[in-house]
């Protein structure tokens, strides 16, 4: 009997929790800051002397970061035609992405090809067709946790790069609170969507094993989780749901596990400033060269 692929792409309440998380975490602002600090030089190098530029986004969500990166690329190479392919299995987030493209001046002229499927099915489709479209810039932002097989995924997308191309992977840093939380409570948290947790250390180990050339850049971020310690706070409850990938933090774990997680979040994953508990949400940006 065929084994059905795990459903990791965001739909329904997961989309709502993710959007709530984005509003409270400042994650997109931190990523965009990183994009504007790190990418201009890299994009100039990638595009030098090229007569067209092809971009592939994998796990792009609602496209908030993609649209900004495409606008940046276009501003660097205004006379060069750009194409964008998007691999994203969430129909809700793809709809949001399309709506965002429609209202983002400048990028409406970029032809988009929407692959509404997960990365694994995209890989199968490309291999079955036999003719691979190759790309100058491929990015995977905050999505590498969900792919079935880390090594195969990196190998596959790296093989789609054109000469001088770059694969950009943004992933929670090994030093982040996420890594501490998910590695410490691996047994309790890695039970449904995620069966294994990956931070930048795991991705770097994989790149090194494959002998790939890469650079690592820090994208610092932290956010206020003080409300997570107030049992009556709706905001705290929703943040805990997203951070532990559970539907209801309060009902999903025993009182001992909940107390342990809260203690860890406060004392090992965060710093205390002006009475606020600030969770370390640092991201690592890995630029992998063709």
What is the dihedral sign for C-alpha 156, 157, 158, 163? positive
Least distance CB 227 / ligand SAM (angstroms): 21
Instruction: Select 238 or 258, whichever has its Cβ closest to ligand SAM.
Output: 238
Least distance CB 27 / ligand SAM (angstroms): 7
Residues binding ligand SAM (CB under 6 A): 8-10, 58-61, 64-65, 87-90, 93, 118-120, 141-143, 146-147
Sheet order of strands, 161-172 included:
112-115, 82-87, 53-58, 135-141, 161-172, 283-289, 214-219
Rounded to 5 degrees, φ, ψ at 274 are 50, 40
Instruction: Select 9 or 258, whichever has its Cβ closest to ligand SAM.
Output: 9
Task: Please choose, from the candidates 280, 287, 289, the residue with its C-alpha nearest in 3D space to the C-alpha of residue 215.
Answer: 287
What DSSP designation does 80 have? Answer: S
Instruction: Select 148 or 276, whichever has its Cβ closest to ligand SAM.
Output: 148
Q: What is the crossing angle of helices 13-25 and 27-47, to 10°?
A: 90
Q: Which residue is nearest to ligand SAM (CB)?
A: 61
For residue 290, give both structure tokens.
């063709």
Least distance CB 37 / ligand SAM (angstroms): 17
Instruction: Select 46 or 93, whichever has its Cβ closest to ligand SAM.
Output: 93
Rg of the chain (C-alpha set): 19
Instruction: Select 60 or 252, whichever has its Cβ closest to ligand SAM.
Output: 60
Least distance CB 255 / ligand SAM (angstroms): 29
Burial of 208 (0-12, 13-18, 19+ CB in 10 A): exposed
For residue 164, give both structure tokens.
């001088």
Instruction: Select 9 or 173, whichever has its Cβ closest to ligand SAM.
Output: 9
Least distance CB 272 / ligand SAM (angstroms): 27
Least distance CB 207 / ligand SAM (angstroms): 19
Least distance CB 65 / ligand SAM (angstroms): 5
Dump the DSSP string for 93-149. Answer: HHHHHHHHHHTSTTTTTSPEEEE-S-HHHHHHHHHHH-----EEEEEEES-GGG-S-
Instruction: Select 88 or 241, whichever has its Cβ closest to ligand SAM.
Output: 88
Q: Evaluate whether 223 touches 281 at the Cβ level (below 8 Å).
A: yes
Instruction: Select 141 or 207, whichever has its Cβ closest to ligand SAM.
Output: 141
Rounded to 5 degrees, φ, ψ at 59 are 65, 50
Residues 6+ apart with CB under 8 A from 198: 144, 145, 150, 171
Least distance CB 88 / ligand SAM (angstroms): 5
Task: Please choose, from the candidates 173, 179, 236, the residue with its C-alpha nearest in 3D space to the C-alpha of residue 24.
Answer: 236
């Amino acid at each position: 009997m065929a084994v059905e692929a795990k459903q990791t792409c965001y739909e329904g309440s997961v989309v709502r929790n993710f959007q709530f998380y984005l509003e409270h975490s400042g994650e997109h602002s931190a990523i965009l800051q990183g994009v504007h600090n790190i990418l201009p030089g890299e994009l100039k190098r990638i595009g030098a002397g090229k007569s067209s530029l092809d971009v592939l986004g994998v796990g792009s969500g609602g496209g908030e970061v993609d649209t900004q990166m495409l606008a940046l690329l276009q501003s660097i190479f205004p006379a060069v035609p750009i194409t964008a392919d998007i691999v994203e299995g969430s129909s809700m987030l793809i709809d949001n992405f399309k709506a965002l493209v429609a209202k983002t001046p400048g990028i409406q002229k970029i032809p988009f090809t929407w692959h509404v499927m997960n990365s694994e099915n995209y890989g199968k489709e490309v291999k079955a067709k036999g003719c691979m479209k190759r790309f100058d810039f491929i990015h995977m932002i905050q999505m590498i946790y969900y792919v079935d097989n880390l090594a195969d995924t990196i190998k596959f997308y790296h093989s789609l790069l054109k000469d001088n191309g770059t694969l950009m992977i943004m992933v929670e840093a090994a030093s982040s609170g996420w890594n501490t939380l998910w590695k410490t409570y691996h047994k309790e948290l890695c039970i449904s969507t995620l069966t294994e947790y990956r931070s930048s250390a795991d991705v770097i180990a994989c790149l090194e094993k494959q002998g790939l050339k890469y650079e690592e850049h820090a994208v610092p971020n932290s956010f206020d989780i003080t409300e997570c310690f107030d049992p009556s706070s709706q905001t705290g409850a929703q943040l805990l749901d997203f951070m532990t990938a559970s539907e209801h933090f309060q009902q999903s774990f025993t009182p001992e596990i909940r107390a342990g997680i809260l203690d860890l979040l406060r004392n090992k994953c965060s710093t205390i400033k002006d009475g606020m508990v600030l969770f370390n949400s640092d991201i690592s940006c890995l630029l992998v060269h063709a």
